Amino acid sequence: MRARPLLDDATADVLGFDWLAHAVAPVSPPGERAFSELHPFAVGEETSAQLRAERIGEVAARLDPARIEAIRAALLELPDAASAIARASLGDVLADPAFLELRRFCATIERIDALLADVPVLAQLSNAAVGSVRDMLAQGQTNHDHFYLADGFDVELAMARAHLAKVQAELNALRGRESERVARELGREALGGDEFIVMRAELRGAMPPDVRVLREAATYFLCTLEYGEATLAALERRDTAAEAVADAEERVRAKLSSTVRDNAAGLNAAALAVGQLDVTIAAARFAQRYRCVPAELSQQPVLAFEQARFPPLETELVAAGRAFMPLDLELDDAAVLTGPNMGGKSVALLTCGFLALCVAFGLPVPAARARVGLFTQIAWLGLGREGHVGGLLSSFAREVLALKEILSREAPRLLILVDEFARTTTPHEGKALLVALLARLRERRACGLLATHLEGVASAAGVRHFAVRGLRGIPAPPATDDIRAALAALGASMDYRIAEVSGDDVSRADAIALTSLLGIDQQFVDAAYRALVQ
């Protein structure tokens, strides 16, 4: 799954592209290959994006989570048979591990088919080639998970092995007898390994004639057993028989490899299909986990949603025992978003970007309902981006350079999310810059949302103005200096929902109340309130 050209690296980081890619990642090697080819749908491909999202939504609706996990478990065990199929296609004689891979590949395909038997929305994966290779490799096997180049594959192989077993037994008997006799002559129970030590002091008489001395030391001999003519002849017969077995085994492998080659097209088709299924199942799992629905794809640059969420943050909040307040928004142009500190302006921008990202990849979106267009680029400007531009520049300079770079792009349909641009300059000039930016975005017919604390930007630019509803009341600071308790109190009092307001409405920042809630001493807070009214 490739972020570019839809997202630059900084935007991908901020919007949680890696999080999304991980959440929809397949588990099998063919799935990983299919996943690596995924790219965003381009403007004009709305129907394809819509169909993909609807198909994923249908799979998520028809398969319960337990069935999805069972299919994932099977996919996780799917071996990568691509290399074996490719080598057989080139005329190679495969080695036994490749046959085991192919055997398990065919078995896993059929196991997945069984799990999908009553799901008409997903086609069966198996085909005649898979069946042929499965049947061929099952010959003579006693365990469905193993592979052995069994006698059942070939009569000549069976005969060669039977002969080898016979001559090996003869050799073992001769060697055993010789070894026992020499051990007896040396007065010991056994010789030990191929090389053994005989102490000079323990040697009774001469060294037995069948013992060859490899090394002499002051107190001992290092020896080995020298086999007699009968044993050497048996050894030769064994080696000849082993060569015959090796030849027979190789002939069987060649025959099996040839069958794999004949069925390569069908096997590749099954591998391709299982890879695509893996990607679809992973996306359906994502849709189930995060309660996603297919968005209605619009031909226009629009971003409209109800009850939308930003899953990376929602997951964190749920882990902390808190809830994400879903958002509604309808955006078809450039607009302004205002609201109090910690009121969720940035999260609203992230939610917009995440939904647009999901739609671009044909994924269902984390919302109750959505109507979204495809964009050629999604760009983030503001907090979270600074690290990606410049070194010895002020934060304002870095922002300006980032904006310049974004505006210079060839992006006929741009979605830009701007988080407090020009917050570090004077409010007067900051407002002017934002108004100019909005004018430029309207000229380009870009879709954008600009979050700011500066007043009067929307009316000056003549654009729509959205605002976070804000604090329902000022929560009392917690008794102890506990940031978690303060955040929980704030979360309970804040209405994070967004509503469109008239152009001149002034958002409350509630910044002084928040400093009190976050533990700044009362004297400081009182001084701030006094300064506010002066």
Return the number of the residue (73 or 199) whose C-beta is nearest another protein.
199
CB 513 within 8 A of CB 526: no
Compare residues 232 and 401 and give the one whose CB is closer to another protein. 232
Q: Binding another protein by CB under 8 A: which of 219, 240, 299, 395?
A: 219
Q: State which of residues 9, 195, 236, 521 lies at the interface with another protein (CB under 8 A).
A: 195
Strand locations in 352-485 (E): 369-373, 377-382, 414-419, 447-451, 464-471
For Cα atoms 528, 532, 534, give the angle at the middle one, nearest 5 degrees: 115
Least distance to another protein, CB of residue 36, Å: 19
Pick from 86, 114, 213, 217: which binds another protein (CB under 8 A)?
217
Phi, psi of 198 (to 5 degrees): -120, 120
- Is residue 215 near another protein by the rule CB under 8 A? yes
Integer angstrom CA distances of residue 150 from 97, 251, 517: 14, 13, 76
Which of 100, 269, 474, 528 touches another protein (CB under 8 A)?
100
| 161 contributes a contact to another protein by CB under 8 A | yes
In contact, 21 and 7? CB cutoff 8 Å: no
453-456: long-range contacts, CB 8 A cutoff, minimum separation 24: 453/338, 453/341, 453/420, 453/423, 453/507, 453/509, 454/422, 454/427, 454/430, 455/427, 455/431, 455/506, 455/507, 456/431, 456/504
For the CB of residue 232, give the shortest distance to another protein in the complex, in Å: 17
Q: How far apart are the C-alpha atoms of 106 and 308, rounded to whole Å?
A: 42
The answer to whether 204 contacts another protein (rule: CB under 8 A) is no
User: Is residue 165 part of the contact set for another protein (CB under 8 A)?
Assistant: yes
Q: Does 73 bind another protein (CB under 8 A)?
A: no
Q: Which is nearer to another protein, 145 or 443 (CB)?
A: 145
The residue whose two tokens read 């986990």 is: 289
Q: Which stretch binds another protein (CB under 8 A): 44-52, 183-191, 467-475, 485-493?
A: 183-191
Scanning 63-95, the segments in alpha helix (DSSP H) are 65-76, 82-89
The Cα–Cα gap between 94 and 99 comes to 7
Q: Closer CB to another protein, residue 162 or residue 527? A: 162
Q: Which stretch binds another protein (CB under 8 A): 142-150, 306-314, 473-481, 507-515?
A: 142-150
Q: Which is nearer to another protein, 220 or 396 (CB)?
A: 220
Shortest distance (Å) from residue 136 CB to another protein: 16
CA dihedral sign of residues 387, 348, 421, 380: positive
Question: Is residue 96 a contact point for another protein (CB under 8 A)?
Answer: yes
Tell me whether residue 221 or residue 375 sits nearer to another protein (CB atom): 221
DSSP-based three-state secondary structure for 279: helix
Burial of 194 (0-12, 13-18, 19+ CB in 10 A): exposed
Minimum distance between the CB of residue 177 and another protein, rounded to whole angstroms? 16
Name the residues that contact another protein, by CB under 8 A.
79, 95-97, 99-101, 104, 145-149, 161, 164-165, 168, 188-193, 195-197, 199, 215, 217-220, 222, 242, 245-246, 249-250, 253
